[in-house]
Chain A
Amino acid sequence: QVTLKESGPTLVKPTQTLTLTCTFSGFSFSTSGVGVGWIRQPPGKALEWLALIYWDDDKWYSPSLKSRLTITKDTSKNQVVLTMTNMDPVDTATYYCARTYYRNQFQYWGQGTLVTVSS
């Protein structure tokens, strides 16, 4: 059974760096083709893809946010970490992680975690 769960702060201040962790089970980065991505959704708005990391450490980033994002993985812990610098109130959103298999993207999703950016 594949499960993913996001964790991190619920509140960050403007200009701070956000660090989110996705902890998963039921699959492994030891398997060729496996990847984990991050997607966010501001309240009442559409989904926005942020970043993806694959089993071979190939990394993809949203062009519009690339300068602020870093995605890494810890294969031994079954975790993926996303950092986003210089947070702003417009970054307030529910952040989801989801599993990918090659280009077969986002079949499984976590429950999401709401991050509010406010002073």
Chain B
Amino acid sequence: DVVMTQSPLSLPVTLGQPASISCRSSQSLVYSDGNTYLNWFQQRPGQSPRRLIYKVSNRDSGVPDRFSGSGSGTDFTLKISRVEAEDVGVYYCMQGTRSVTFGGGTKVEIK
């Protein structure tokens, strides 16, 4: 099984400042078709998860461009260029290359 490890567990951020979340997989996420199926989700308090990023770096429709994804192989990062109040919530990475596995989540809160 692929294990997804996120860090940090909690991320206090000042409004307007950048934030970065790390996600590491226990195995390479490069699939046989050449794609890397690594997604990022945002879950605001009391809401269903919302996908932000798919295949490492592709933003879903309607996602603000302050969110960006990067990485390759086993190391991936979600960055928020300038945190806004509406970004508070828990962020999850998820791999879909070898079955499906979610990371443990990173809670983003405002300082």
Question: Given the complex, which residues of A lie within 8 Å of B76, measured CB to CB?
Answer: none
Interface size on A, residues (CB 8 A): 22
User: Are B48 and A103 neighbours in the complex by a CB distance under 8 Å?
Assistant: no
In the complex, whether B77 has a CB less than 8 A from a CB of chain A is no
Most buried by A among B31, B50, B60: B50
Place the interface of chain B in its size category: 20 to 34
Question: Given the complex, which residues of B lie within 8 Å of A46, measured CB to CB?
Answer: 92, 102-105
Residue of B nearest to A49 (CB): B100
Question: Given the complex, which residues of A lie within 8 Å of B102, measured CB to CB?
Answer: 39, 46-49
Interface of B, secondary structure class, is: loop
- 1/0 contact string of B29-66 vs chain A (CB within 8 Å): 00100010101010100001111001100001000000
Task: Give A104 Cβ to nearest chain B Cβ, in Å.
Answer: 6
In the complex, whether A55 has a CB less than 8 A from a CB of chain B is no
Residue of B nearest to A64 (CB): B1
Distance, CA A55 to CA B59, complexed state (A): 25
Residue of A nearest to B48 (CB): A109
Q: From residue 18 to 59 of chain A, which have CB atoms closer than 8 A to chain B? A: 37, 39, 46-49, 52
User: Are B49 and A109 neighbours in the complex by a CB distance under 8 Å?
Assistant: yes
Question: Given the complex, which residues of B lie within 8 Å of A105, measured CB to CB?
Answer: 37, 39, 54, 94, 96, 100
User: Are A107 and B51 neighbours in the complex by a CB distance under 8 Å?
Assistant: yes
Distance, CA A103 to CA B103, complexed state (A): 17
- Tell which of A49, A96, A109, A111 touches B101, judged by Cβ atoms closer than 8 Å: A49
Given A64-B1, A103-B35, 14 more pairs with CB closer than 8 A: A46-B92, A46-B105, A47-B41, A49-B94, A49-B99, A49-B100, A63-B99, A103-B97, A104-B96, A105-B96, A106-B51, A107-B51, A107-B54, A109-B48
Q: List 9 A-B contacts (CB under 8 A).
A: A37-B100, A39-B102, A46-B104, A48-B102, A49-B100, A96-B49, A98-B49, A104-B37, A107-B60
Taking Cβ atoms with an 8 Å cutoff, the residues of B that contact A are: 1, 31, 35, 37, 39, 41, 43, 48-51, 54-55, 60, 92, 94, 96-97, 99-105
Taking Cβ atoms with an 8 Å cutoff, the residues of A that contact B are: 37, 39, 46-49, 52, 60, 62-64, 96, 98, 103-107, 109-112
